[in-house]
Structure 1
Amino acid sequence: MIAEQLNPDLFLLTLGGWPAYLWRDPDGVTLVDAGPVGSGADLLRALDEIGVERSDVRRLVLTHFHDDHAGGAAEVAGWGGVEIIAHESDAPIIRGDRPGPPPSFSDAERALHARVAGDLEPAPACRVDTVVRDGDVLDIAGGATVVSTPGHTDGSVALYLDRPRVLFTGDTVAEHDGVIMRGVFNLDGEAAAESFRALTALPAEIACFGHGRPVLGDAQAILTTAAAAMITV
């Protein structure tokens, strides 16, 4: 199975080992991230498992430009009728107008990146239909607020669904072996840590991370505790 149901309308998608998410509204679905290059077939299988059609996909929100999140975006854009959404700072990179800056690796991160992501194909250029900024509200789940979370990349974003209290953090926050931590491979680690702390102000019940298992209850308190400890790699 590629699609794991987390609540009646929320699904974790595992795309060749890389996570993405799907939110289902009565009038269609939203994808949050699209996995690495070649994820299109897995995304279609996930839709089939959930029982929705490709034509039901209304939009794809990209949390940032990295290859494991935006690599499959061009395939999704090719389905037709899907709105591609990204932050104004990362949109030029996703479009292929300029290269993305590399992370500021620690020695440990450099070795980890080579092991887990060194063979990822570069994300092909993909159109961006809608450029967003901090505080913009998207028509998802009755209103989803875009939260700018610079640090991992300049244009990293989180997405907060107010009514169901669901937070998509992108790579600003990660989970590994039950530990919630600041994500790795950041452009600016201190800025990423500050973005992590800012997310704790949101009254989230569920938190979905760019990597690792989501938190399915009392997410705000769990994130607050983790941010205070600020466990990093």
Structure 2
Amino acid sequence: MQLSPGLRRVGNEIVASYLFIDGRGVTVVDAGLAGHYGDLVAELADAGLTIDDVRAVILTHGDTDHLGFAERLRRDHGVPVYVHAADLDRAKGGDTPATSFGRGIRPWPVVRFFAYALAKGGARTEYLADARTLEGGEHLADLPGSPEIISMHGHSPGSIAVHSPALGAVAVGDALTTRHVLTGRRGPQPAPFTDSPDAALDSLDRLAATDAEWVLPGHGTPWNRGAAEAVRLVREAAAATAR
């Protein structure tokens, strides 16, 4: 799905990854679920590209619904995979993410999420065998989209956002969501399964500072009304939940 020139989504509002495209090729941000590999190939074809045009995968964090086809691209096609050093162990299968479901769960959104994850190969995700590590603050100018790495500690120890000023976009992983997978509630809000909710909220100031038009969550509809407005609404939703 093309969002704007050079910016595409693979997947849907349940689980998504993103493509940053320029004349040098493609940077894939997050790798969804294993079964999204075919969707990736189809999306690339729609853009007149192939797997051979993929220059890198950058993972916003190491949870399994973001690892998807990353190891397949690394192993079979030699595509380097980047992940924050603090999430490398999780991406290799050695760390356990938060599992608290929180309040307000509704059965249908939960069933829909897990049914979709199973249908798309969520039970057969390959953990990474190797990766290049990030620390936050890097500017990967040689990669398509010239992404800048923003540390977003909170959802996981090594959560990051991937900002492309050239494309006016920032992919945020689970730093926030625009559709809560456990309640079905829509709009910018805190994501579930977050290790440190307070730290995640503190990290949002870095998103607002990007001034990006597009905010691209791993779960939910892409947001094109600006990062600052998305952050304001997340904080508002968090405050309402705390009352």
Q: If the TM-score is normalised by the length of the shorter chain, which range does it land in?
A: 0.7 to 0.9
Residue 180 of structure 1 is matched in structure 2 by 188
Shift of 1:129: 3.0
Contact 2:188–2:231 (Cα < 8 Å) also in 1: no
Change in 2 beyond 3 A, CA 1:114/1:227: closer
Shift of 1:224: 3.8
Q: 2:213 aligns with which of 198, 205, 216?
A: 205
Contact 1:37–1:67 (Cα < 8 Å) also in 2: no
Residue 158 of structure 1 is matched in structure 2 by 161
Q: Which letter does structure 2 place at the counterpart of 1:189?
A: P
Residue 182 of structure 2 is matched in structure 1 by none
Q: 1:147 aligns with which of 147, 150, 168?
A: 150
Q: 2:137 aligns with which of 135, 138, 144?
A: 135
* Pairing 1:1-233 to 2, within 5 Å after superposition: 4-14=1-11, 17-96=14-93, 98-108=94-104, 115=111, 116-117=113-114, 119=118, 120-121=122-123, 123-139=125-141, 140-141=143-144, 143-176=146-179, 178-217=186-225, 219-231=226-238
Contact 1:33–1:61 (Cα < 8 Å) also in 2: yes
Change in 2 beyond 3 A, CA 1:16/1:147: closer
Identity of aligned pairs, percent? 27
Q: Which has the higher contact order (CA 8 A, sep 6+)?
A: 2
Shift of 1:109: 5.5
TM-score by length of 2: 0.83
Unmatched tracts of structure 2, length 5 or more: 180-184
Counterparts of 1:75 and 1:17, CA distance in 2: 22
Q: Which letter does structure 1 place at the counterpart of 2:57?
A: L
Shift of 1:185: 1.3
Higher-strand-fraction structure: 1
Counterparts of 1:76 and 1:133, CA distance in 2: 22
Instruction: Give the length in aligned residue pairs.
Output: 228
TM-score by length of 1: 0.86
Change in 2 beyond 3 A, CA 1:200/1:109: farther
Higher-helix-fraction structure: 2
